[in-house]
């Protein structure tokens, strides 16, 4: 007697699957339980996972002008379906017999809905798309209403939905009327211990993308209010190369600040473990930045670091709940420096011990259990469409 055919899951993300931490963890987890096909810009390099490539965004000047015109005329469906990547994804979906589609970000959801067949859809919103870059007038002018349309039109058609934190989940519930399950951007558990701090400067570190909306210059300015007990290393992906060069120019002349080359995801925990405190001052210049709870926060925990953040509500709540470090009173460099300056070696050792104690609870392995429960419930229900 033949065994039951294995459940087939397709994970769709218009991103580099090899370098997108949340999606890469998602693919790895699902591949342990199901047959998985990944669709994105590059292969995730997860054993046993099939891959279908889609075209990355690469607009010509004429293409940008045409897309801008469609957006301003409210021709949102035409704007969406004109994308070569969306057409590639549709072709990939049409060739697959799929039980579940995991659509990452709102851009992946409409094509998943159109080509779902009898598949269930789990929509992972990541963040709140209609207000993603609302600090930019160009973004508000061209994209805000477009993403609002996509969310209102398509999110209710998913069978289940997830996002990264409570603040963003609440906004989706309010704006779209759809419940969201919170799956944190937790990093995989690392079998590390806290590093010692005695006999050297207090080493601060920040890693991530060099993206202008994150205003990383505030952390450079913070160093001007700290004495020579502290050093700061940036480990940045050159997401916007000109911005990264401007940061280096701003820090020039301060020997305490260094810019190190980016490291592969799997090497980061060991590299970060040599530091004393992971820092992130993120001004709330848009909705998603206000409620940010990023991968780096959980990577700081897995590296067993003290954590210093601004009063961003999601990050601050976890720092306080687990006594992981310090929270500045406001988002100014002076206030952030004042919080960091209270971190002597004794306090750092105590907070590192708290990170060590919280590492399993705040790991992806813990979040993965909740995600797998949601996947199983979604597969067991009739599809929404």
Write the CATH number for 344.
3.40.50.2000
Same domain (yes/no): 84, 179: yes
Q: Taking residues 371-375, report their average pLDDT.
A: 95
Residue with structure tokens 């993206």?
211
The answer on 374 and 336 residing in a single domain is no
State whether 179 and 230 are in the same domain. Answer: no
Give residue 1's pLDDT.
36
Shared-domain flag, residues 268 and 248: yes
Q: How much is the average pLDDT of 3-29?
A: 90
Q: What is the pLDDT of residue 19?
A: 85
Is 233 inside a domain boundary?
A: yes
On whether both 135 and 284 belong to a single domain, the answer is: no
Residue 248 has pLDDT above 90, yes or no: yes
Inside any domain, residue 343: yes
- Residue 195 counted as domain residue: no
Q: Answer whether residue 1 is part of any domain.
A: no
pLDDT of res. 31: 95
What is the total count of domains within the chain?
Answer: 2
Is residue 179 situated within a structural domain?
A: yes
Per-residue pLDDT at 2: 47
55-86 residue pLDDT tens: 886 666 666 678 778 888 888 899 899 888 89
Same domain, 29 and 115: yes
Query: Quick one: pLDDT at residue 56?
Result: 83
Same domain, 28 and 176: yes
Q: Are residues 317 and 266 in the same domain?
A: yes
Asked if residue 109 has pLDDT above 70, the reply is yes
Averaged confidence pLDDT in the chain? 92
Mean pLDDT of 254-263: 95
**Are 167 and 220 part of one and the same domain?**
no
Structural domain includes residue 191: no
SS (H, E, C) the chain: CCCCCCCEEEEEECCECCCCHHHHHHHHHHHCCCEEEEEECECCCCCCCEEEECCCCCCCHHHHHHHHHHHHCCCHHHHHHCCHHHHHHHHHHHCCCCCEEEEECHHHHHHHHHCCCCCEEEEECCCCHHHCCCCCHHHHHHCHHHHHHHHHHHHHHCCEEEECCHHHHHHHHHHHCCCCEECCCCCCCCCCCCCCCCCCCEEEEEEEECCHHHCCHHHHHHHCCCCCCEEEEEEEECCCHHHHHHHHHHHCCCCCEEEECCCCHHHHHHHHCCCCEEEECCCCCCHHHHCCCCHHHHHHHHCCCEEEECCCHHHHHHHHHHCCEEECCCCCHHHHHHHHHCCCHHHHHHHHHHHHHHCCCCCHHHHHHHHHHHHHHHHHCCCCC
Residue 375 CA: distances (Å) to CA of 77, 245, 368: 29, 43, 10
pLDDT of residue 299: 96
What is the domain range of residue 317?
A: 202-358
pLDDT at residue 59, as a whole number = 60
Whether residues 105 and 248 fall in one domain? no
> Within this chain, do residues 13 and 89 fall inside the same structural domain, yes or no?
yes
Q: pLDDT tier at 198 (50, 70, 90 boundaries)?
A: confident
Question: Is the pLDDT assigned to residue 183 strictly greater than 70?
Answer: yes
Q: What percent of the chain has pLDDT over 70?
A: 96
Do 242 and 311 sit in the same domain of this protein?
yes
Q: Does 47 reside within a domain? A: yes
User: Does residue 385 sit within a domain?
Assistant: no
User: Which tens digit of pLDDT belongs to each residue from 339-370?
Assistant: 999 999 999 999 999 999 999 999 999 999 99
């Amino acid at each position: 007697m033949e065994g039951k055919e294995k459940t087939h899951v397709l994970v769709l993300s218009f991103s580099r699957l090899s370098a997108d931490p949340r999606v890469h963890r998602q693919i790895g987890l699902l591949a342990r339980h199901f047959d998985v096909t990944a669709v994105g810009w590059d292969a995730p390099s997860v054993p046993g996972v099939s891959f279908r490539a889609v075209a990355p965004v690469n607009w010509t000047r004429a293409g940008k002008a045409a897309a801008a015109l469609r957006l301003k005329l409210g021709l949102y469906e035409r704007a969406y379906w004109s994308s070569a990547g969306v057409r590639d994804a549709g072709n990939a979906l049409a060739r697959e017999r799929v039980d579940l589609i995991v659509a990452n970000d709102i851009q992946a959801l409409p094509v998943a809905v159109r080509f779902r067949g009898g598949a269930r859809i789990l929509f992972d919103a990541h963040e709140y798309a209609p207000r993603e870059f609302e600090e930019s007038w160009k973004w508000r002018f061209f994209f805000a209403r477009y993403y609002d349309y996509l969310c209102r039109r398509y999110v209710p058609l998913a069978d289940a939905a997830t996002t990264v934190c409570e603040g963003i989940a609440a906004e989706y519930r309010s704006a779209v009327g759809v419940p969201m399950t919170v799956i944190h951007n937790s990093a995989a558990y690392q079998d590390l211990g806290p590093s010692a701090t005695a006999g050297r400067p207090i080493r601060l570190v920040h890693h991530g993308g060099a993206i202008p909306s994150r205003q990383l210059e505030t952390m450079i300015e913070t160093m001007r209010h700290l004495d020579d007990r502290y050093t700061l290393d940036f480990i940045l992906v050159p997401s916007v190369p000109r911005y990264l060069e401007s940061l280096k120019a701003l820090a020039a002349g301060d020997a305490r600040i260094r810019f190190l080359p980016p490291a592969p995801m799997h090497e980061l925990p060991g590299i970060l473990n040599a530091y004393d405190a992971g820092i992130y001052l993120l001004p709330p210049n848009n909705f998603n930045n206000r409620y940010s709870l990023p991968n780096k926060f959980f990577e700081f925990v897995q590296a067993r670091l003290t954590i210093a953040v601004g009063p961003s509500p999601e990050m601050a709540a976890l720092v306080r709940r687990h006594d992981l470090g310090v929270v500045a009173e406001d988002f100014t460099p002076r206030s952030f420096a004042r919080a960091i300056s209270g971190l002597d070696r004794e306090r750092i050792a105590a907070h590192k011990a708290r990170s060590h104690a919280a590492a399993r609870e705040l790991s992806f392995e813990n979040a993965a259990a909740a995600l797998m429960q949601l996947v199983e419930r979604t597969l067991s229900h009739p599809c929404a469409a």
